[in-house]
Chains A and B, each alone.
Chain A
Amino acid sequence: MNLTENQRFIIRLILFLALITGLILILPRLKSIITVIVISILMFTLLDSFVDKLERFKIPRALSALMVILIILLLIAFGISRVVPLVENAAKQISQSFNSENTFTEKLETGIVSLTNKLPFNTATIDIPERINGLINTLKKNLPTALIGFARGLISTFSSFFFVLFITFFFLKDERKIKKTLIRFVPNRYFEMSINLMDKIQRQLSAYLKGLFLAATNVGITSIIGLFLVNTFLDAGINYIILIGLWAGLANLIPYVGPTAGAIPAVISVLFTQPPNTFLVVLAVIAVFVLVQFIDNNFTSPYLVGKNVELHPLIVFLVLIIGGNLMGLLGMMLAVPIAGIIKVTVGEILTNAPKYRL
Chain B
Amino acid sequence: MTQVLWSPIRKKDRPQEEMIMDALRNVHIFKNLTNKEIKKILSLVYTRKYKKGDYIFKQGHPGNGMYIILNGTIQIIQEKREENIHQEELLATLHSGDFLGELSLLDEAPRSASALCLEQTEALGFFRGDLMDLLNRDPLLGSKIVLNVARVLAERLRITNQQLADLQEKEARHVKEE
Chain A residues within CB distance 8 Å of chain B: 49, 52-53, 55-56, 176, 180, 183, 188-189, 191-193, 195-196, 198-200, 203, 352, 355-357
Contacts and interface: CB of A to CB of B under 8 A. Distances in A.
A352 B129 CA distance: 15
A199 B129 contact: yes
Interface in B36-60: 43-44, 46, 48, 50, 54-58, 60
Nearest to A352: B62
Contacts of A55: 137-138
A183 B46 contact: yes
Contacts of B62: 196, 352, 355-356
Contacts of A352: 62
B43 A191 contact: no
A121 to B, nearest CB: 59
Main secondary structure, interface of A, reads helix
Given A195-B64, A199-B127, A56 B44 contact: no
15 contacts: A55-B138, A188-B50, A188-B56, A191-B46, A191-B48, A192-B57, A195-B46, A195-B64, A195-B129, A196-B127, A355-B62, A355-B110, A357-B58, A357-B60, A357-B61
Interface of B: 43-44, 46, 48, 50, 54-58, 60-62, 64-65, 110, 125, 127-129, 133, 136-139
Nearest to B57: A192
Nearest to A357: B60
A56 B134 CA distance: 9
B61 A356 contact: yes
Nearest to A196: B64
Given A180-B46, A199-B127, A355 B61 contact: yes
Contacts of B136: 49, 52-53, 56
B73 to A, nearest CB: 16
B105 to A, nearest CB: 13
Given A52-B136, A56-B139, A195-B125, A176 B60 contact: no
B61 A56 contact: no
A19 B21 CA distance: 43
A52 B61 contact: no
A52 B133 contact: yes
A67 to B, nearest CB: 15
A176 B125 CA distance: 14
A53 B62 CA distance: 29
B126 to A, nearest CB: 10
A56 B139 CA distance: 7
Contacts of A189: 55
Given A56-B138, A188-B50, A355-B110, 17 more contacts: A52-B133, A56-B136, A56-B137, A180-B46, A188-B48, A188-B55, A189-B55, A191-B48, A193-B61, A195-B64, A195-B127, A196-B62, A199-B128, A356-B58, A356-B61, A356-B62, A357-B58
A56 B136 CA distance: 7
Contacts of B139: 56
B139 to A, nearest CB: 7
Contacts of A183: 46
A189 B60 CA distance: 14
